[in-house]
Amino acid sequence: MGVLALEMFPDEVPGVDWIGVTGDFVRVIDEKCDGCACCVRVCLGECFEIHDKKARVRSLARCMECAACWYVCPKEAIIFNWPQGGTGFRTDWG
């Protein structure tokens, strides 16, 4: 997985900036998570990792706020909100 990540993001995600202090807008509820890793497989920003058979948010530094993780989680274990207004990703090329 690490190798894959390097291939996809040589340095950073071009053309996108991340602003400000977003807060923990994506969270995993441990009790509900069964470690199926669906969230890991769909997140293009590599925001999740599996630790002790549970998903956890590694970093939201490349989160594009797409909500794919929230949609696919079969256990409703992901709490998804928007980051604080005016923070998070921004782009001119969407």
Partner 1 sequence: MEKETEESKEYDVIIVGAGFAGPVAAVKCARAGLKTLMLERSARVGEKVISGLTIPFHGFLFGPDFIREGNPPIERPVDGIINYIIRDIDSCDIEIDDSLRIPKPFSPVIAFGYNAYCRPFCEWEAQMAVNAGCELRTSTTVADVIKEDGKVAGVITEDGERIRARIVIDAEGSQGLVAVKAGVREKYPPEVISLADVYDYEMSKEDVDTVLGHTLRFCWAWDEENLAPPLGYGNGLMVWPYRRSVHFCQDQCLSLGEGRVSNLRKAFLEYHRNITTKLPWWRDEVQPRVKLRAHMWETFEIFVGLDKRLRNMPSCTDGMILIGDAAGLEGTELCDGVPAAWFSADIAADVAIEALFSNDTSKEFLKRYEERVRDHPMIQWSISGTNRYNLRFAQDLHDFEELKKYVHRGWGLACFTHVSTPLLKMILRFIREDPMIIDSWIRMFFRYYYNWVYERYDQRDFADRKGVNSAMKGTFSSFLFKSFIRGFAITLRFFSPFIRFAARVLEPVCVVANPLMGLLLPFFKGFLNFWAKLEPLTSRISDVSVELIKWSDPRIFERP
- List contacts with ligand SF4 (CB under 6 A): 26, 28, 33-39, 42-43, 45, 47, 55, 63-69, 72-73, 75, 77-78
Return the one option of ligand SF4, partner 1, none that residue 14 interacts with (CB less than 5 to 8 A, by type).
partner 1
Contact with partner 1 (CB under 8 A) among 4, 21, 52, 53 = 4
The number of residues that bind partner 1 (CB under 8 A) is 38
Q: Is 33 in the site for partner 1 (CB under 8 A)?
A: no
Q: Pull the structure tokens for residue 57.
A: 């948010």
